[in-house]
Amino acid sequence: MIDFTKFVNSNAVHNHLQQIRYQPTAMEAAWLVWQCETISLEEKYTAWQEIIDTLPDCPTGSRTAWLKTPYKDSTHAFLQAYIAQQKELTAAFYQADEPAVYHAEYQILPKGKLFWREHRSIEEGFPTLESTLQAIPKNDGDIIYITIYKENSKGDFLMAARFLPDQRLAFMDARPGSMCACNMPKDKWALYSGVLYYIGRVSTWKNIPLPFRSGDILYNPNMPEGMFCGGIFIAAETKSQRCDGGFFLYDNRPDKICHLYPRLMDCEYYPVEALSECYRIFPLISKFLKGKNIALDPWDFAELINDYHDLLIPPAVPEETEADDDGDGLSITMQIAKVPAGMDFEEFIDIMENDNE
């Protein structure tokens, strides 16, 4: 039997699932295969057929309207129909009886980079699929995947396909807004988007045990700074006693945080020694969360940190401001406190309190 945990993209999550010998359900295994970044579509067909042949059937859990009842009640029945649909989409993509124009985007880990992948595109359109794939740069870094967009001669977007770095087909993508998607009957669109997309978005990863604990410093290689839920963050348990969110820098401001919900299934541990100066508060928060071993309201905690930051470092004003009170010469002096880089919060508070005394 296939070890379905090998399809997990995150090394941290993959290692954890192997250590605990996790056995996914048929639906979980189907989703893990679907979202895997490194296998071809043919390999996905093989893995999905293995699920049908070897794993006990279970409901898909989808509540999508227009999805036929057999595909809601049976993961096996859904996978058989989904494989057939992907094969139909593949045939349509490779059909070359009319002129077409192809455009390329790709995800890459640039040379010299350790953590963050980049999305790049080629502006030029190409007359053939082969010439488009050949245009992808070979020496700029490690290619993660390639997305090819197919248009007709009128410029209408027909459909897209994802390819691996070795140019093997990985997935057929009938994106919303494409002619392929617009022309699909509602039940076919529900089959395409209403199970694997839906489950990945809503619940599957929440049922798979993750290694992350409150206070762990993490990152998603696909989500660099500047993207929503992008950048380094600290895992946080909520009252559900599960890490399902994280503390990010608030608007990229040092020492202020916000709570968001990243895609934890793809995350890796981020080394503390690699943190830049703007993340100087992260080791302190990480230490606090790990030391207390408690679940807390993440929004209340973020508000506390941000209010405390504003108390210590008010909005910028001149260091000394003098004001006359009815001409009696009353002088008001304001001092702005700033936390020195690398200083522990408790040490800083002790210094401030001693100065006040």
Average pLDDT over residues 157-186: 92
Please state, in angstroms and as integers, the Cα–Cα distance from residue 125 to each residue in 61, 92, 172, 315, following that order. Answer: 41, 20, 20, 50
What pLDDT digit, counting tens, does each position of 217-256 carry? 999 998 877 677 778 999 987 555 566 788 888 876 777 8
Amino acid 336: pLDDT: 44
Is the per-residue pLDDT at 349 higher than 60? no
The full 3-state SS of 134-184, as one line of letters, equals: HCCCCCCEEEEEEEEEEEECCCCEEEEEEECCCCCEEEEECCCCCHHHHCC
**Percent above pLDDT 90 for the chain:** 51
Strands 217-219 and 268-269: antiparallel
Strands (E), the chain: 100-110, 118-126, 141-152, 157-163, 169-173, 217-219, 233-237, 243-250, 253-260, 268-269
Amino acid 322: pLDDT: 47
Amino acid 254: pLDDT: 74
Across all residues in the chain, what is the average pLDDT? 83
Handedness of CA 107, 108, 113, 114 (dihedral sign): positive
Angle of helix 186-193 relative to helix 75-94, nearest 10 degrees, comes to 110
Amino acid 267: pLDDT: 94
Reported pTM: 0.80
In whole angstroms, give the CA distance from residue 319 to residue 336.
Answer: 7
What pLDDT digit, counting tens, does each position of 80-131 carry? 999 999 999 999 999 888 889 999 999 999 998 888 899 999 989 999 999 9
